[in-house]
Amino acid sequence: MLTVHHLNNSRSQRILWMLEELQVPYQIVRYQREPTMLAPESLKAVHPLGKSPVVEDNGNILVESGAIIEYLQETYDPESRLKPISCEDKLRYRFWLHYAEGSLMPLLMMKLVFGSLGKAPVPWLLRPVGNVLGQGVQKAYLNKQILTHARYLEDCLQKTPWFAGQAISAADIQMSFPVIALLSRGGINDLPNLQNWYNQVQMRPAWQRAVQQGGPFEIP
């Protein structure tokens, strides 16, 4: 049986969602984040990078969310329920699969890091300087970049209800983690299309089952 090495509040939640959408049987090996929010060292026994998600299937060890999602679609979705049919939608589908981690998520990770420079585990003597540096970088660069991306996503979801067209696809599953992170830590108001998209996601039975399986899901 397919095995998901699942870390709480992590990218592996979207792998559970995809498996639930495809109704693929799986088992979960659970890991909890350390107080530092890093993955535990025990994950390195599964894969040297020690990251989640990791999927074991048919003797293969699979890492990287996008690669796992593509594998699951190609292997367990012969009717292309989660992949568009038209050429135009396929182009959008491929774009969002790569955009999620290639363009949007690095900015959100930078915001998390620079927003934490004034907090533990940074030594307390350095926290005032770290706070000034972090806030300065966010104001001068990060916030503007994130706003540009947020407006771009808003415009795209004004045209179609899902990222790759009129129907949900694996592109939406891949985009779920950065969109939720954006809504949580982007510091941007008035994103009705993104919020509506997330509301629709949360209403899906497969999403609800994935949260039940993976545990409470919240991106700080």
Domain spans, the chain: 2-81+210-214, 87-204
| Four-way CATH pick for 2-81+210-214: 3.40.30.10, 3.90.1170.50, 3.30.1310.10, 3.40.50.2300 | 3.40.30.10
What's the mean per-residue pLDDT of the chain?
Answer: 91
Cβ distance 209 to 12 under 8 Å?
no
Say what the pLDDT of residue 40 is: 85
Tell me: pLDDT of 44 over 70: yes
Say what the pLDDT of residue 126 is: 64
DSSP string, 153-170: HHHHHHH-SBTTBSS--H
* Short-list 8, 34, 11, CA closest to 109: 11
- CATH architecture designation of domain 87-204: Up-down Bundle (1.20)
180-218 pLDDT, tens digit per residue, is 999 988 778 889 999 999 999 999 999 999 999 998 888
Give the span between the Cα atoms of 177 and 125, in whole angstroms: 34
Does the global pTM surpass 0.75? yes
